[in-house]
Structure 1
Amino acid sequence: MQVNWTGVFPAVATQMNEDGSIDFDMTAEQIEALIEAGVDGLVMLGSVGENTALDPEEKIAVLKLAVEITKGRIPVLSGVAESSTRSAIRYVQECEKIGADGLMLLPGMVYTADPRENIEHFRTVANATKLPIMIYNNPGAYRIDIKPEEFNQLADVKNLVAIKESSGDPRRITDIYNACGDRFVLFCGMDDLVMETQVLGAVGWISGFTDAFPKESVALWKLLSEGKYKEALEIYRWFTPVLHMDVHAKLVQYIKLAQEMTGVGKPHVRAPRLPLVGKELETIKATIQKAIDTRPSL
């Protein structure tokens, strides 16, 4: 189906069993819960989906499941986080065969490319598929910062259509617009900047904690989209202590713990990630529990 690049697109967690194997049944249940809550699309196999910890055949199996469960009700995107341009090309072509509706393309993993190499990576992968692509900029996590003027060098690649902006600087939304005009659709990529970036022109939100609080996330975005900022601010202030966890290195553990506590998932992760323990576990659980106990009535 055609991707309508707007709204809430959760970065869907890949549910695991305690032994680190994929729990396909729980992943399917999670997808249904997100659709029921009213999300606008799904991003499978992103950072929260533990893309880089999965084997190639596991990624294909997870994406196939999402396409089958969704049945065209909302678009399904796949993260592309391969270590080489060649492997990224192979993967995006598999995504196209499976029936994915779009892609979220990261820079090549492991090697820290310079701007010339990075632009060539995006261009080459995009030219290998007909699927529409969102470029994911997250310098904090992946050590590569795609500057606004660099995006402009990709303006001629027709299927590069959107940008997930996760630099942590909301000024980037304006800078990208000033550099590129309205050539790219802009998405917020950090949960605790969703209100700020929406005001500045982001029309969508790739969200981690929507996995655990889907109804609240959809309600918050709806209010923002309608310009009801006073009402939105009430939800945002309630949500922000939890949303801050989305920008931590252990966001996957935090999100999956929140999913367990809200009854929509399991806390298990795949090594090298390990379960939370000790004081960290106590602190994170307390923050999530407070949010659960004070949930706004929608």
Structure 2
Amino acid sequence: MWAGIYPAVTTKFTQDDRLDHAEMERCFALMIEAGCDGIIVCGSLGEGPMLSAGEKLDILKTARSVAGGKPVLLTVNEAATRDACTMGKAASMAGADGLMVVPSPIYHTDHGETVTVLKSVAAAADLPVMIYSNRVAYRVDVTSAMLEELAADERFVAIKESSDDIRRTTEIVNLFGERFDLFTGVDNLAFEALTMGAVGWVAGLVTAFPRETVAIYQLLKQGRRDEALAIYRWFRPLLDLDVSTYLVQNIKLAEIHAIGTNDRVRAPRLPLSGPRRAAAEKVILDALASRPQLPSF
């Protein structure tokens, strides 16, 4: 159902901490124009936990206005299952094409609780669902045993696999074949996952470098592995910025230099400063100075 490059977009704020819809329209459009296949709003990179329910729905509306009919998914990452179900229903009414569902990022659910959360949200929203498994950041791992319980419900169409273990990609493909659209959610494992059977990439640095991200996917899809690998090797230092406690600030700093936007974040986050900003900025500027010329694809 879903495949390709799905940016986990950043949320843009004005100087007085309101949503900057005009800037989001501009930035989201750059990704669609570059050939991205969908948009995911209000995730970790989108500072979803810091947004109100109304703000999330407003961002969904903005994304849909520029997506050109491509799928727009809203991330459901509420702490309480009741609130997650309410958010899912609201997203459905607002026209979301699907949900990316994170089991509670506050309480670390066990096997039975994780399955129950996912089933409850899917039933409440009655939308296609991408399951977000991230044992590193959220300490909730949607295992293959859980997927076996969820597979009977056709609303579960995809999984964003972010376990940081490339072996999981092969495991899911071996067990389920094409039952789930398998996406990688770890930027600096994307090439590896795509070559091992993932059909899509929920990407972070794509918000600053959309053409390069799309090029890697499309070249691999066309069997042009060496050309894709050359771009990926250049990209790797940038992609490492996604695997960090400061991924939001890192990627927004990259967006400043690559697409001319700002790095405003919502408190308690603050923009990078001091040595941490200098280190990230060096990676970004070094990459821009050696940016490869992309082949036609």
For this structure pair, what is the TM-score category when the shorter chain's length is used for normalisation?
Answer: over 0.9
Distance 1:229 1:87 in 2: 44
- Work out which of the residue numbers 267, 276, 283 in structure 2 matches 1:280: 276
Q: Give aligned pairs, total.
A: 294
Distance 2:157 2:71 in 1: 15
Matched, 1:17 2:28: no
Aligned position for 1:34 = 31
Distance 1:127 1:33 in 2: 34
1:289 maps to amino acid: L
- Work out which of the residue numbers 101, 111, 116 in structure 1 matches 2:112: 116
Deviation at 1:98, TM superposition (A): 1.0
Aligned position for 1:55 = 52
Q: Could you state the TM-score of these two structures normalised by the residue count of structure 2?
A: 0.96
Deviation at 1:264, TM superposition (A): 4.4
Aligned sequence identity (%):
44
Deviation at 1:142, TM superposition (A): 0.6
- Work out which of the residue numbers 150, 154, 157 in structure 1 matches 2:153: 157
Deviation at 1:71, TM superposition (A): 4.4
Deviation at 1:241, TM superposition (A): 0.3
| Runs of at least 5 residues in structure 2 that lack an aligned partner in the other structure | none
Runs of 4+ in 1 over 4 A off after TM superposition: none
Single out whichever of 85-94 and 206-215 deviates more from structure 2. 85-94
Aligned position for 1:223 = 219
CA contact (8 A) 1:149 1:180 kept: no
Distance 1:265 1:190 in 2: 24
- 1:59-113 CA-to-partner distances (Å, cap 9, x unmatched) read 11111111223342x1111111111111111111111111111110100221111
Q: Could you state the TM-score of these two structures normalised by the residue count of structure 1?
A: 0.96
- 1:150-174 CA-to-partner distances (Å, cap 9, x unmatched) read 1111111110010000011110011
- Work out which of the residue numbers 133, 147, 152 in structure 2 matches 1:137: 133
Matched, 1:64 2:72: no
Q: Which fold has the larger relative contact order, with Cα–Cα distance below 8 Å and residues 6 or more apart in sequence?
A: 1
Deviation at 1:16, TM superposition (A): 1.5
Give RMSD over aligned pairs: 1.1
1:6 maps to amino acid: A
Distance 1:182 1:38 in 2: 24
Matched ranges for 1:1-298 at <5 A = 4-72=1-69, 74-298=70-294
